[in-house]
Amino acid sequence: MEIRKNDTFTIDITGMTHEGQGVGRIENFTVFVDGAVEGETADIRIIKITKSYAAGKLIRLVKTAPARTRPFCGVYGRCGGCSLQHIDYEAQLKFKTGVVREAVKRIGKLEDVVVHETIGMSRALNYRNKAQFPVGFSGDAPVIGFYASRSHSIINSDICGIQDEKSDRIREVVRKFLIDNSVSVYDEVTGKGLVRHVMTRTGFKTGEVMVVVVINGSSLPSGQQLVDSLCREVPDIRSIILNINTKNTNVVLGERNKVLYGNDTITDYIGKFKFEISPLSFFQVNPVQTEVLYGKALEYAQLSGSETVFDLYCGIGTIALFLSEKSKKVYGVEVVEDAVRDAKRNARINNVENAEFIAGEAEVVVPGIYRQGVRADVVVVDPPRKGCDERLLETLVKMDPSRILYVSCNPSTLARDLNYLAANGYRAVEIQPVDMFPHTGHVETVVRLDRKHS
């Protein structure tokens, strides 16, 4: 059968992609449908067609899955943020467990590893401590919202149900400031205009708030007015920063910051540890689930107090400090220099004396210190989405630690790296997915790997 754009079909949704799109078939041809759930039957219209697959738009549900629920957000389906809001929370957790199990089996080729059920949140709303709003315009009016799915058009909105509520108040104040002062907003196409992004960060335990205004220029006209309004309208503002980004790229933050008001960091706690967080440093976005995740890592590490531990891709040293109490010595390695500076300071603030932090790429630093004779008993890796560089994994295998903990935000690259480690002497024993990103297709996991020989 020939399938053409705008043709309509009634199809059964027989699977889901990792991002939560429904998958169906027209004869042997695969069709992806946003917003459709496994088990449903739907009328769809073909909106895109390639050699190997088609994309369909959901027109009407003929049969509804029991897992379907009503999305809580007014811009659901237009905003690219939450692709699973139409699935009830329990079913979301099952879906995520399935994604991890599938990856481990299909990509990792591991058969005997236990993948536990995903640990969810008791209240899966307003869980994010960081928002990054793109700023643009619609007609003449500035808009501050989120990108639409697979696009850079900005969906203006006032409320985001997964963000800390203060971030909504902040963007309202900034929007008003832009209008009242006729401040220009950035246009990606021409590279002209001033204000590009507004980033907000909140300390969940301290309440402290940081606002970062990213600009394509070196100063913000009437900046003092913005400071005054934010301090008046939003409680607990501790830091207002101008971030300078004049490059015409998709990278949100530039390298240079200017303090407009208050401190250059805010403070928050994970467990009993206190952290100072800079605008450019990575800090976990869901502090409640981070504690769950780190707790699991600590449990899996089975430390006795005599071990040397590596925390690779350490950010501002959060995992390192968590593990420091039960180890002899902890080394943290991180590529962002600001984060390493924060990590050192965080160790000092928390009176941790057995942690050392090194700036650089893990795949370069670790082979270097290995050559100098440094050895680890337990290694934690927590890489970005692309996973670990093979040069790092090679060195770890040579170093021969008794245990490796792999913390990952991407099941596919995790599974790839577990496959490498399995072939080189490390058995994945247990995998615990943790839901750090409710209502989105993302899932975090921690894996315990033991050395096969004793």
How many CA within 13 A on the CB side of residue 310? 32
Interaction of residue 282 with ligand SAH, rule CB under 6 A: yes
Alpha-carbon distance of 171 to 166, in angstroms, equals 9
The span of 16-24, 310-318, 346-354, 429-437 binding ligand SAH (CB under 6 A) equals: 310-318
Interaction of residue 279 with ligand SAH, rule CB under 6 A: no
Alpha-carbon distance of 168 to 133, in angstroms, equals 10
Among 168, 334, 342, 435, binds ligand SAH (CB under 6 A): 334
Alpha-carbon distance of 157 to 195, in angstroms, equals 18
Interaction of residue 382 with ligand SAH, rule CB under 6 A: yes
The span of 91-99, 135-143, 295-303, 308-316 binding ligand SAH (CB under 6 A) equals: 308-316
Alpha-carbon distance of 31 to 449, in angstroms, equals 37
Alpha-carbon distance of 429 to 300, in angstroms, equals 10
Label residues 277-303 b or e (16+ Cβ within 10 Å = b).
Answer: bbbbbbbbbbbbbbebbbebbbebbeb
160 a catalytic residue: no
- The single-letter DSSP state of residue 27 is T
Interaction of residue 333 with ligand SAH, rule CB under 6 A: yes
The span of 29-37, 96-104, 307-315, 371-379 binding ligand SAH (CB under 6 A) equals: 307-315
Among 145, 279, 315, 411, binds ligand SAH (CB under 6 A): 315
Question: Rounded to the nearest whole angstrom, what is the least distance from the CB of residue 305 to ligand SAH in the complex?
Answer: 22
Q: Single out the catalytic residue among 79, 82, 388, 409.
A: 409
Question: Rounded to the nearest whole angstrom, what is the least distance from the CB of residue 351 to ligand SAH in the complex?
Answer: 20
Among 336, 352, 374, 422, binds ligand SAH (CB under 6 A): 336
Alpha-carbon distance of 319 to 381, in angstroms, equals 10
Interaction of residue 313 with ligand SAH, rule CB under 6 A: yes
Cα 243 off chain centre by: 21
Question: Rounded to the nearest whole angstrom, what is the least distance from the CB of residue 11 to ligand SAH in the complex?
Answer: 39
Interaction of residue 357 with ligand SAH, rule CB under 6 A: no
Q: Is 23 exposed, middle or buried (0-12, 13-18, 19+ CB in 10 A)?
A: middle
The span of 62-70, 252-260, 302-310, 359-367 binding ligand SAH (CB under 6 A) equals: 359-367
How many CA within 13 A on the CB side of residue 243? 23
Q: Which is nearer to ligand SAH, 200 or 278 (CB)?
A: 278
Q: Which amino acid is at 294?
A: Y
**Which residues belong to the active site?**
409
Residues engaged in binding ligand SAH (CB under 6 A): 282, 284, 313-315, 318-319, 333-336, 339, 361-363, 382, 384
